[in-house]
Structure 1
């Protein structure tokens, strides 16, 4: 009596007698063993040492919020598809910001600097947001000691070993959102009432090329969320991962999968995909936090899965 092998226990099958290199490169799995890969979960995490190092202003360079070891990822990553980093530029020094990604979203934490992106230039100040296209030569030169926070989709391109398109085929262009305009636009939002279907008062950033999708890049979203004094955003979830920068809020905290994450100045919070989470402002002033998500993927695939508990 023969005993059939369990499909789930079978190893990868190789071609029997390949006639050439193309056939020799083929591999075969089955319905039992193709979908039983167990990947480590995306850790919920609040990064506090990295912003402290950045604010110490010791030297010009990048400080990554890297969880690649916990996710068994072969390249730096904060979530599987996004990398958050702090950037320090000492007064009078220059930082090359030419990155291999589709785009990176930047926030000026402190300082004043000049930015060159291809043939375009901008003057940056505290509270500015800007969008850098990947693969385009760019650099920051600081007039005074400056600190930045940035999130890019570097891991996405590393994962499928692709390179950013540039020129007229680029997915994004350089966009500058000055702090004064951000403040004005947020006041416009606060001039309207939030209803039961909205998650509070938030400013959503978009751009000319991505206006139809209401995202800032094809795959990433950016919002400046707020909490009024003594208020909270109720528990909710979504299928996209979220990376959050604490801009203002004292005392304030987040609950991520039943874990309390106390806010501290310029900390970076990671909310794993589909994790239950909420945000709480126990202070007497408005809390503000920037949130980058890889939500563009899920909106496009019709799988965002946002819901309140």
Structure 2
């Protein structure tokens, strides 16, 4: 193989600029930068942290184990049952090798929030997107000098607003997901709100889901669900520019066929009877079934993580309908054109 020539050929008119016999350039006045002296004499060596890898050894750091995979983990309802007013982070920062704070996925943190009757809870995170789902209870929140009421089944979606103070009129548990881990990784803080605070009421969400479930051919669809969308997100059709949220029904006896996407799903189970579960795996067989699946049994009030790129299918063998709310960073993934959602075409 011929030697690689890294020299640069310059036009003849500029040759003297690169002639080592030419005298050094004049001293540059650098007082405007806050120091004195020659610019070249002040130059530092910034090469200490430079690394070089042969492509095949570094192209897949996940496969090499340098970037850890997102684990499929379930979080039980016992985490939020009883006890004092508190925030319970569903923290996987350890296995994800994420420094600086808790995280459930590389971009998102899910939490159970318990507020006992008569208590107040103040939270303040550097996040551009926050979603609260009221699992049960009722109360009010003070957000940027404004007040909003909420009750069981409501979704409250907030932009970057600073401190939020929740007041509970009854024992309350909420599922709270935000994108602070993403901003922490980027080393940034929000410059301001990207959308208006928005409430999706239980009454309207249930009515929309009922209409979809009762429409002809509903059970033939891969999903019986309502996608939540903020008016500002007219390109991604998501609940914020980062978050995607679905209010879904898994009818009696139905199997939601395998599908996959590159966003991590943080799934909350609202209600179900024993016999509801998800199967997860890396590939499909010739019949479109998941090969060697891992089974995750559903629990009312529990949550679990569906890793990106995993084929997964939801089964209801319980004899009763079940409801779930998956929340993902699919708003961001859709904007980046990297979501890559796929459904099996085999039955």
| TM-score, normalising length: structure 1 | 0.86
Map 1:121-200 onto structure 2 (within 5 A).
121-166=147-192, 170-193=193-216, 198-200=221-223
Aligned mate of 1:250, from 253, 262, 273: 273
Flag the structure with larger Rg: 2
Kindly tell me the number of residue pairs found equivalent between the two proteins: 287
**Does the CA-based 8 Å contact 1:135-1:165 persist in structure 2?**
no
Residue 129 (structure 2) pairs with residue 103 (structure 1): yes
Aligned-residue offset at 1:151: 1.0
Structure-1 residue corresponding to 2:340: 305
**Does the CA-based 8 Å contact 2:157-2:198 persist in structure 1?**
yes
**Quick one: distance in 1 between partners of 2:339 and 2:214?**
28
Aligned-residue offset at 1:139: 1.0
Aligned mate of 2:144, from 110, 118, 139: 118
Residue 73 (structure 2) pairs with residue 45 (structure 1): yes
Structure 2, gaps ≥5 residues long: 1-39, 282-292
Structure-1 residue corresponding to 2:307: 272
**Quick one: distance in 2 between partners of 1:184 and 1:22?**
64
Structure-1 residue corresponding to 2:298: 263
Structure-1 residue corresponding to 2:89: 64
Structure in which a larger fraction of residues adopt strand: 1
**Does the CA-based 8 Å contact 2:253-2:316 persist in structure 1?**
yes
**Does the CA-based 8 Å contact 2:79-2:112 persist in structure 1?**
no
Aligned-residue offset at 1:225: 1.6
Residue 117 (structure 2) pairs with residue 82 (structure 1): no
SS of equivalent to 2:235: helix
Q: Pairwise CA RMSD of aligned residues? A: 2.2
Aligned-residue offset at 1:184: 1.4
**Quick one: distance in 1 between partners of 2:231 and 2:71?**
34
Structure 1, gaps ≥5 residues long: 1-16
Change over 3 Å in CA distance of 1:35–1:141 after alignment to 2: same
**Does the CA-based 8 Å contact 1:238-1:307 persist in structure 2?**
yes
**Quick one: distance in 1 between partners of 2:340 and 2:185?**
24
**Quick one: distance in 2 between partners of 1:264 and 1:106?**
20
